[in-house]
Structure 1
């Protein structure tokens, strides 16, 4: 990702397309998120002098300087220079504190589920916790019970403006959301979804996703449900389907379990240009040429992850490794190009990573080593 494009995003001068591209890059991995936050922190520090007069945090500094100037009108030039020197130190202190605060956001553990509220506040979601989240007015936004956030029981009154939350699920975890219309969503590992706290009458029900999720959508003919990714839009009235839209993958995949969905790439839905998907079929969007192709599939291969299973059929080894990285939050390197392109078929139900690796080793004579520091890294050799 070009630094210039990221800076445009930070300065809020990026186009919608550029913003989507940067957000997709950020959500592609924890490492990208770290790099983005560090670049943002450095940018804020480097432009601090340019923004010092407009920042709310500097109102106290302005009053401080004003009071000193009033009390020292008749002081000598040297004293004024001394005051300015200490004021400058004070400015640097504020800048350093802000940088430290910004960089402290990076200290959130990589394996932590986070909820970003409309005002930018980030809440840590504890595994299997019980919590209630409220807005600045004390209204309940959502409640957590175990591995599920429920927005269907919020007491927020009808708003004219959509208010969004963003849930981010790291590698190695899954999480569930009940949206305000009772739509059920399961987010897979390495997935981020932005969605309204409360859907508004007269507006489509729109959510934005990077990663993979399974949707069980509540029927509402008056308000179509639209899932938006960086490459594809999926429009439904009420149905069950799986969408996989990881930024690093070559394809965006949509698998329909029941009902029907329309796929389109334009900003506005146009029925004549949309691709209709029927149950038991998979739609591939090739990101390199934007072509959509359909094929009949075994739906369970694409939805088994919901229950902790890993399934693949005639899948290249490199794709299998990417699934394992996401599911088990590890780094896997394969030193054989031929092995990477070799296809395998298998299913593992709630198996440990060690069991899966041993299965490959015992059946295909694949050798591997494991290093646990600083992160768990597996190196595979033919």
Structure 2
């Protein structure tokens, strides 16, 4: 028998009850928070049996330390801190000294701070869509009875075996070791991009070129740039200020003035605007937006680059996105705009709802999009076509999905995400048309090897560029 998520929820009230020792409050907290943190740990460690034991230890820690819980700090932050400490402590207790020395020799560093940052990032990263399905939700709920049995044991004779004493703990250490190796490879490569390394999967040189990650800067009204945390997944704008998605406050006042979020090559970031609209910003992009929309009859933002929008509905205040050659007007819908300054064409793709696109001087001057349609604008032409939505918006979900796409278009996307220039030698960039489905977080050498399977193109990866060959 599992436990159902609470229909009515007041976190502070439940924390007060938990601090007083009420098991019903403990059950509600478990039901409310267990799915997400279980999913994050499973996505990190890839072993369900292992995560089952870790979740049990985590929530027993919550129960045992209930009297020390803060009412002033969001419970999810306290829970993540406990999870971070558990994973870090277990790793440190298991990994042999000689293994640690090997890592130090290979990467040049092995600090507690850097390992903690890697674990912390995994605990706040967004999960892939539908990662937690109905079966997994049921499984997580069914873990609660054992926890309930333990905390009801007055003399505490019923105990879970400490996690680090179980045989399966070895797998956690291996998983954490893999996490640390991957993370340190990323950190080390960014510092020594000209150095040559062999990719462990393909055996080819990667030269320290790594996939993109959460990187962005917030440009303030006075021009000052605030570099944002790489271990956070996004920003939230409210009338009272700006926070990261986990509630951490930034020392910035919105003051109703315009702000700009911008990402470099190899960067991405998520933003929730003051009206609740969510924006995912792709690499080498920027979004200018007001701190508050309250005095605006039109909610207006300006985009350069590529972004995916989930617009909060407000019939009294249409949402407008201005970019090169066009303005999009919506009331509440999901859509994507790609408007890089260096691209010959601008595209708008509608996922749900309806969008009116104004494009003065091009074609019929305005187009109403239907779901599944994409409008492509050049300086002289407007083209409307049906597209595969999953492929068009795949970057938002951590994937590359190319379907009969020109080589030049594919390589532009790879160049922006991996922050490395592309040079063509004896190859027509518009040919051939290639198809591929792969993770955006694969090593570059692996991605290029998959593209080479077509037999139509070959690559040479050098220290500072990708050579495209016949």
Q: TM-score range by the shorter chain?
A: 0.5 to 0.7
Is 2:255 the partner of 1:143? no
Structure 2 CA distance, aligned partners of 1:334 and 1:345? 19
Is the contact made by 1:312 and 1:320 (CA closer than 8 Å) also made in structure 2?
Answer: yes
Any idea what the Cα deviations from partners look like across 1:319-375, whole Å, max 9, x if unmatched? 111010011111111212335422112221343321111122343164332222xxx
Structure 2 CA distance, aligned partners of 1:317 and 1:130? 31
Aligned to 2:230: 127
Aligned to 2:387: 297
Structure 2 CA distance, aligned partners of 1:365 and 1:187? 32
* 1:222 alignment partner, SS class: coil
* 2:393 alignment partner, SS class: helix
User: Aligned to 2:337, which of 243, 251, 259?
Assistant: 243
Structure 2 CA distance, aligned partners of 1:356 and 1:132? 30
* 1:320 alignment partner, SS class: helix
Is the contact made by 1:212 and 1:242 (CA closer than 8 Å) also made in structure 2?
Answer: yes
Shift of 1:307: 1.4
> Which of the pair has the greater relative contact order for Cα pairs under 8 Å at 6+ separation?
2
Is 2:268 the partner of 1:177? no
Shift of 1:191: 0.6
Structure 2 CA distance, aligned partners of 1:132 and 1:264? 29
Shift of 1:116: 0.5
Is 2:364 the partner of 1:264? no
Structure 2 CA distance, aligned partners of 1:130 and 1:306? 13
| RMSD over aligned Cα atoms | 3.1
Alignment of 1:1-382 (within 5 A): 113-129=216-232, 140-145=240-245, 162-266=256-360, 274-286=366-378, 288-289=379-380, 291-338=381-428, 340-350=430-440, 351-364=442-455, 366-372=457-463, 376-382=464-470
Any idea what the Cα deviations from partners look like across 1:194-222, whole Å, max 9, x if unmatched? 00111133421000000000000001011
* 1:249 alignment partner, SS class: coil
Tell me: CA distance 1:127–1:261, structure 2 relative to 1, closer, same or farther (3 Å). Answer: same
Structure 2 CA distance, aligned partners of 1:125 and 1:222? 33
Structure 1: state its 5+ residue gaps: 1-109
Tell me: CA distance 1:371–1:185, structure 2 relative to 1, closer, same or farther (3 Å). Answer: same
Structure 2 CA distance, aligned partners of 1:245 and 1:132? 22
May I ask how many residue pairs the two structures share in their alignment? 254
Could you tell me the TM-score, scaled by structure 2's length? Answer: 0.50
Structure 2 CA distance, aligned partners of 1:214 and 1:142? 21
* Higher share in strand: 1
Shift of 1:245: 0.5
Any idea what the Cα deviations from partners look like across 1:102-122, whole Å, max 9, x if unmatched? xxxxxxxx9952111112111
* 2:447 alignment partner, SS class: helix
Shift of 1:274: 2.7
Tell me: CA distance 1:120–1:149, structure 2 relative to 1, closer, same or farther (3 Å). Answer: farther
Could you tell me the TM-score, scaled by structure 1's length? Answer: 0.60
Is the contact made by 1:118 and 1:165 (CA closer than 8 Å) also made in structure 2?
Answer: yes
Tell me: CA distance 1:208–1:280, structure 2 relative to 1, closer, same or farther (3 Å). Answer: same
Tell me: CA distance 1:124–1:202, structure 2 relative to 1, closer, same or farther (3 Å). Answer: closer
Tell me: CA distance 1:132–1:280, structure 2 relative to 1, closer, same or farther (3 Å). Answer: closer
